[in-house]
Amino acid sequence: MNHTKKLLIIGFVWPEPNSSAAGGRMMQLISIFATNGFEITFASPALDSDFMVDLKAFGVEKRTIELNNSSFDDFIMALNPDVVLFDRFMIEEQFGWRVSENCPKAIRLLDTEDLHCLRTARQKAFKENRTFEVHDLLSEEVAKREIASILRCDLSFIISEFEMDLLKDTFKIDSNLLHYLPFLVDKMSEENLQELPSFEERKNFVFIGNFLHEPNWNTVQYLKETIWGEIKKQFPEAILQVYGAYPSQKVLQLHQPKSGFFIMGRAEDANEIVKNARIVLAPIRFGAGLKGKLLEAMQCGTPSATTTIGSEAMHGNLPWNGFITDDIQEFAKHAVTLYQNENLWKQAQKNGIAIVNECYQKNKYSDELIKTINSLLNDFENHRLHNFMGSLLEHHTLKSTKYMAKWIEAKNKN
């Protein structure tokens, strides 16, 4: 008789799918494992939030755990999971050694979300007003930690093909340790467009994004200080509504109804807002991974205007559902044209559906994922034998991280 496979997810935070793309992705992963018969426990050292999802409603057991506390060892030994999924490398650093010590046979997976080292290095280059070069990553402190974490795990989920290539070419990581897993959504058809608000029924430009995420805050500043003025020159009646979770006082101060610039705060239902907007503006200047807001725009039949970074690795060789440019004047000009030209707008909508169906098919990617995990479960010893750098790092990390954690725990008791 087959036993039910157990998955433990250790979350950096509790999932908030309405606040961020990361929360949405985590719920996609939970759904794949649940559909494939895994019994899921989600544990996190984070505090509860008002906007976290009700995990019990998805059949997932919720457990609060503590950092630097051996109570986790008792918890994981009692649970004895077959698979452990770390949500971001910082969580693997904290709990990876405890998992490998207490449940050495458990498959260790890492969901990178996006490459933090890439986002950090690009942000640094942007702040220093220079062009980002791939070799910047090699001196990045975060890269050393993140790559070590990827090497210690049996498999890491990589959300972007650009990042897959970067890991293989720049960091020379064996492709057996990496698994390409973009956002996963249902197939769409042109009939779906009939159910969405039409060109005439929609109005306004919209930007949507969690303000705790630095690239989003930077984008809103860029819109306010540079791009919006250019758009208003060509289209004086234009209105931009900026939505996002966790707006700070700095964000709220940008609210300026006179110039058509509205800070709206948290979106009750992001989908509804994007569906009723005519254009999504996302002039993102640094970042990594895939942009959930731009995929959501495609699903809502809403064309978008973005930058090279915004669209990176998102559309294969297919035409964008709107336009991509890094030039300020071009951006403003195209945004206004797309807003006013119904034929162009409808073509952009169709491009979005083609991208959703070609690049983000849930069935295709979820089947491949489960197949890969099952083969790891059947042959993890051989897989680990061929990951010498990983076992070498694990050996040394186990020692250093373990004693650091034990020292902190002892200190906390005193």
**Residue 243 pLDDT more than 70?**
yes
Give the chain's count of helices (H) and strands (E). Answer: 18, 13
Q: What secondary structure does DSSP assign to 24-56, as a single string?
A: HHHHHHHHHHHHTT-EEEEEESSPP-TT---GG
Question: To the nearest whole percent, how much of the chain has pLDDT over 70?
Answer: 99
pLDDT at 153: 97
Q: What is the pLDDT of residues 106-129, one digit of tens each?
A: 999 999 999 999 999 999 999 999
Query: Tens digits of per-residue pLDDT, 200-225?
Result: 999 999 999 999 999 999 999 999 99
CATH 2.60.40.1580 fits 6-184+362-413, yes or no: no
CA atoms within 13 Å, Cβ hemisphere of 355: 30
CB-neighbour burial class of residue 76 (10 A; exposed 0-12, middle 13-18, buried 19+): buried
Give tens-digit pLDDT for 264-322.
999 989 999 999 999 999 999 999 999 999 999 999 999 999 999 999 999 999 999 99
pLDDT 10s digits, 73-111? 999 999 999 999 999 999 999 999 999 999 999 999 999
Sign (positive or negative) of CA dihedral 193, 294, 134, 361: negative
- Between helix 292-299 and helix 342-359 the angle, nearest 10°, is 110
For residue 18, pLDDT over 90 is answered with no
Least confident of 37-51, 163-177, 217-231, 399-413: 399-413
* Residue 143 binned pLDDT confidence (cut-offs 50, 70, 90): very high
Q: Which CATH class is domain 190-359?
A: alpha beta
Question: Comparing 6-184+362-413 with 190-359, is the CATH topology the same?
Answer: yes
Domain boundaries, the chain: 6-184+362-413, 190-359
pTM of the model: 0.93
Find, among 45, 40, 47, the residue nearest to 26 by Cα.
40
Q: Determine the longest span between alpha carbons in the chain, in angstroms.
A: 70
pLDDT value at residue 2: 63
178 beta partners: 156
